[in-house]
Structure 1
Amino acid sequence: MKRIFNLASRFGTLTVLGIVLLLASASCSRRAATQAHADWTYDAVLYEMNVRQFTPEGTFAAAAQQLPRLRDLGVDIVWLMPIHPIGEKGRKGSLGSYYAIRDYMDVNPEMGTMADFEQFLDRAHELGLRVILDYVANHTSPDAAWVTERPAEWYVRDSTGAPAVQYDWTDIAKLNYETPGVRDAMLDVLTFWVGKGVDGFRCDVAMEVPHDYWEYAFAQIRAIRPDLFLLAEAEGPQFHADGFDATYAWDLHHVLNDIAQGKKSAADLRVLLAKYGEEFPASAYRMMFTSNHDENSWNGTEFERMGDAAATMAALTYVLPQSLPLIYTGQEIGYDHRFAFFEKDPVPAWEPNEWSEFYKRLNALRHANPALAGGERGGEMTYMGGAVADVMAFTRTAGDNKVVCLFNLSGSPQAVIPTVEVGGDFIDAMTGEPHPIVPGEEFSLGPWEYLILINN
């Protein structure tokens, strides 16, 4: 199959798609109609790897040596930021932006060779990890071969006839999806990397690419491999209709920042969650996070934005409905540093610490409790009656599995008088110690303190 996929990249998807579909139909079955996603995704934890900064070397080979550490942390999916050669025209900084891609079907020599990437992928799969690639469908670098080798209509043009620049992205050239050749070529890109064995894609600025392209492209690649995982860098229910498994929960992220800064409260969070419940299908995964590459470099680390609430907000992203939790490079050791985006700026030597244990326990919590599964498999959320305004008190329940969540989302102590919804004998998920809750027996949560309790 891999040889056929590579032929597609060389000669065009449409010329070999019929053969591929025949083979795929003989070897793979589609996801059941009652199941929205691949089985391996429902309790997954996502790790965003900034390959350039992940190790001092910044290479696939060096990163591969660290994969057992991520596996032991409880990571399931490794998302690689773009791994392709970076354009030189308009380059920002000395190394450039990963998102200014010159050649979609090659790897950045800064990171190694294609063989090095394939060995990284093989090692990840040996460890039971999945790998998804950053797919930058909106634009290329201004010096990509397509700019001169393909017809002018492959790119959106400005009034001077030059490829158009969006926002302050002066190192890119925007592709024109009104041109059929662009759609075919970008489908070839997806097919090429599926042929390499990647497990899915995070799709950069998905809202800048037409919805009908996503529908078309995903139908083709899922006919080849039904269990691919697809994440949109966008927020909105339409992207789930397009075929994406997951979307960014950007609004949630902003509300969590505002609560941590005293600008909003738990009441605002409850309003947003109700809105999500109304607008998004039950099957939707929502990627929830306290940091990512954009937030870290441009808006600051979680410690800058959230202060003493950083751990509280991270824990909350693991227990809310539909969550797909994200860990960004360095968060697992509490690295309080804004990465230089266009330069080499690696994480210091990896040493396990209290943050490693924190994320390890959260990941184990997610894996062990069906109530916290993503999408339509997740447990029902029920608020505790009578909770004070600054406390998020709720349960997640699926069958016999019950998770009690009590979060003080303020910088002041808050009294909690538990009701029958949260009463019982439990284990504190973060300490492993017994923690019974007696209805009517008041206790206090300190500033930003939280409890996550599981069935004893």
Structure 2
Amino acid sequence: MSEWWRQAVVYQVYVRSFADSDGDGVGDLPGITSRLPYLRDLGVDAVWITPFYRSPQHDHGYDVADYVDVDPLFGTLADADALVARAHELGLRVIVDLVPNHTSSDHAWFRAALAAEPGSPERARYLFRTGRGADASEPPNNWRSVFGGPAWTRVGDTDQWYLHLFDSTQPDLDWRNPEVPAMFADVLRFWLDREVDGFRVDVAHGLLKEEDLRDQTGQEVSSDTFDVGGLAEDAPMWDQPEVHDVYRQWHAILAEYDGDRMAVAEAWTRTVESNAAYVRPDELHQAFNFDWVMAPWSATAYADVIERTLPALAAVGGTPTWVLSNHDVQRHATRYGGGAVGRARARAATLLSLTLPGSAYLYQGEELGLEDVDVTPEHRQDPSWFRTGEPGRDGCRVPIPWAGDRAPYGFGPGAAQPWIPQPEGWAALSVEAQQSDDGSTLAFYRRALALRREWLGGAGDEVSVSVHDDVLTVRRGDVTLAVNCGSVAAALPAGEPLLATGPADGGLPPDTAIWVRTG
């Protein structure tokens, strides 16, 4: 039997925005535990939970102050254990987020570094350097933060600066210092001993930088999609060869434990081949396919990503991932145009993703048809907003609606708005409202996941892909998918209809996909 993760459907929980158990307006671990039966009934195989460790929350948990404890905002270690145990009772695996590129500036190591002298062992755990210019008032190099502005912050009025590829409260670690990999080996074992099934590795391509920290040449890639670097032609801070040594060590640790423990990389790279390098047999197990996230609504674009991805992964014995939304990008219903058109295209793209071999990663709320929310400036909390003045990622992080006709829509007890206010008009999108509606997006997801398990669970990795007149056709096993990305209706593929994303009587309308049984 192959490893569970190779064909899994994984549901991402953004912990702050999934379910609040205590009425403080912020999601927490007991809230997640209470909703696990919903995920079981949805039909997913695993849940990935964003960071819940001790943190000052400057970047909502991706600034970790203690990797082996739970922030009181989210609960306790006992709550984490209870969540894992309950998930396993329900047949769900649990993947937790690991943030190894940087710590919080509140981490004991960084506080010790600031208190120590330049050149000290405490500072050697991070990337402190002397500034440029006669008075050291200029950053040590020209690198830019992913969140905007310089990637360096000066230590008081000294000549020392520290590197942070993200917010200034997230200092980058020096992975060439042996204390750093040793600490994270302990962190891995701590959570593996608590029976977690895997790790999502944040900024997996960023741990090692070119040792001389030279200037970057050229311009960083700009994109409408949030990325964490790695796409520029010259990127001395990303995707360095030595990073793969780290993952070979982690692979060995994961292999010590039973149950096919796994790790999936958030690795933004320039080519599918460099992305596939992260899932060679002795490294990590999966890597997110961000080419799929960034592909436009286009039959030829989708076909191109599929036809580049599958051979690259097959060459290293890996299986691909297919993800359309997460906590860092616009929800795909919005990205594909918003409104009725965007929602229709989102369903169709989801059915396409579920057709393909490998794992599908879903983002909380997409099964409800949620779109990005236009969060007003006074309620924005993404650190990139404060550094750039751009809206940032808050719009895809608004807490999801569970029940009722007004905020907080059953998100938690009480009547107060949650940490990011929910919009009016979400009552019809709540879980409660969609549960009894056979035409709802939630009903579609449940049917699609059940049929995927039934018809594609043993279909193998071979696919045939073709494009004709803006219609993409994918055949895998006994199932053929057709998705119409054009502007006029197309002929239906021959076979017994299994599921369509919209009305498909007598033809396949634009922005619609269908599964038919052809075997």
TM-score of Structure 1 vs Structure 2, range by shorter chain: 0.7 to 0.9
1:382 correspondence with 2:479: no
Q: CA offset at residue 345 of structure 1?
A: 4.6
Q: Does the 8 Å CA contact 2:353/2:360 hold for their aligned counterparts? A: yes
What per-residue deviation string (whole Å, max 9, x for no partner) do you get for residues 66-108 of structure 1? 1001000001111000010113xxx64xxx4210000000011
5 Å matches for 1:26-425? Answer: 38=3, 40-57=4-21, 58-87=27-56, 92=58, 96-149=59-112, 151-159=122-130, 160-166=159-165, 168-209=166-207, 210-225=243-258, 227-234=260-267, 236-241=275-280, 242-255=282-295, 258-259=296-297, 265-281=298-314, 283-295=317-329, 300-307=330-337, 308=341, 309-320=345-356, 322-338=357-373, 345-349=398-402, 350-351=431-432, 353=434, 354-370=440-456, 378-383=460-465, 388-397=468-477, 402-410=478-486, 412-416=487-491, 423-424=494-495
Report how many residues are paired.
378
Give the Cα separation in 1 of the matches to 2:255 and 2:370: 37
Q: Residues of 2 paired with 1:391 and 1:158: CA distance?
A: 54
Deviations, residues 281-303 of structure 1 (Å, cap 9, x unaligned): 264232212210001xxxx3222
Structure with more of its chain in helix, by fraction: 1
Distance 1:444 1:115 in 2: 54
Deviation at 1:151, TM superposition (A): 2.2
Cα separation, 1, equivalents of 2:126 and 2:253: 24
Q: Distance in 2 between matches of 1:177 and 1:211?
A: 12
User: Any gaps of 5 or more consecutive residues in structure 1?
Assistant: 1-34, 260-264, 436-442
Distance 1:430 1:447 in 2: 12
- Residue 498 of structure 2: which of 428, 444, 450 is its match? 428
Report the CA distance shift for 1:413/1:107 in structure 2 as closer, same or farther (over 3 A).
same
- Judge conservation of contact 2:303–2:465 (CA < 8 Å) in 1: no
CA deviation vs aligned residue, 1:192-246 (integer Å, no higher than 9, x gap): 0000110010000100121101111221231233610211101511101152221
Distance 1:177-1:70 versus aligned 2 partners, 3 A rule: same
| 8 A Cα contact 2:125 2:173, kept in partner | yes
Opposite residue 122 of structure 1, the aligned amino acid is A
State which drifts further: 337-346 or 221-230: 337-346
CA offset at residue 162 of structure 1?
4.1
Question: 1:108-153 deviations in whole A, cap 9, x for unaligned?
Answer: 1101111111111111111111101001111101120012446221
Query: TM-score, normalised on structure 1?
Result: 0.77
- Distance apart, 1:267 and its partner CA: 2.1
Distance 1:226 1:157, change over 3 A: farther
Quote the Cα distance in structure 2 between the aligned partners of 1:63 and 1:45. Answer: 18
Contact 1:361-1:430 within 8 A present in 2 as well: no
Conserved 8 A contact 2:471-2:484? yes
Q: Any idea what SS the aligned residue of 1:42 has?
A: helix
User: Contact conserved, 2:8 with 2:44, CA < 8 A, in 1?
Assistant: yes
Q: Distance in 2 between matches of 1:217 and 1:247?
A: 15
CA contact (8 A) 1:312 1:449 kept: yes
Task: Go from structure 1 to structure 2 and tell me whether the alpha carbon gap of 1:404 and 1:97 turns closer, same or farther (over 3 Å shift).
Answer: same
Cα–Cα, structure 1 residues 251 and 383, in superposed 2: closer, same or farther, change >3 Å?
closer
Hey, what's the Cα distance between the residues in 1 that align with 2:124 and 2:516? Answer: 58
RMSD: 2.6
Gaps of 5+ in 2: 22-26, 113-120, 131-158, 208-242, 269-274, 383-393, 403-430, 435-439
8 Å CA contact 2:51, 2:97 repeated in 1:
yes
Deviation at 1:269, TM superposition (A): 2.6
Distance 2:492 2:189 in 1: 56
Q: Which has the higher contact order (CA 8 A, sep 6+)?
A: 1
Q: Which secondary structure state, in structure 2, belongs to the residue aligned with residue 99 of structure 1?
A: coil
Q: Give the partner amino acid of 1:237.
A: A
Which stretch of the first structure deviates more once superposed, 222-231 or 41-50?
222-231
Residue pair 1:388, 1:416 contacting (<8 A) in 2 also? no
In the TM superposition, residue 394 of structure 1 has moved relative to its aligned partner by 2.6
Q: Give the % identical residues.
A: 30
Counterparts in 2 of 1:269 and 1:430: CA distance versus 1, 3 Å = closer
Distance 1:345 1:415, change over 3 A: closer
SS for the counterpart of 2:162 is coil
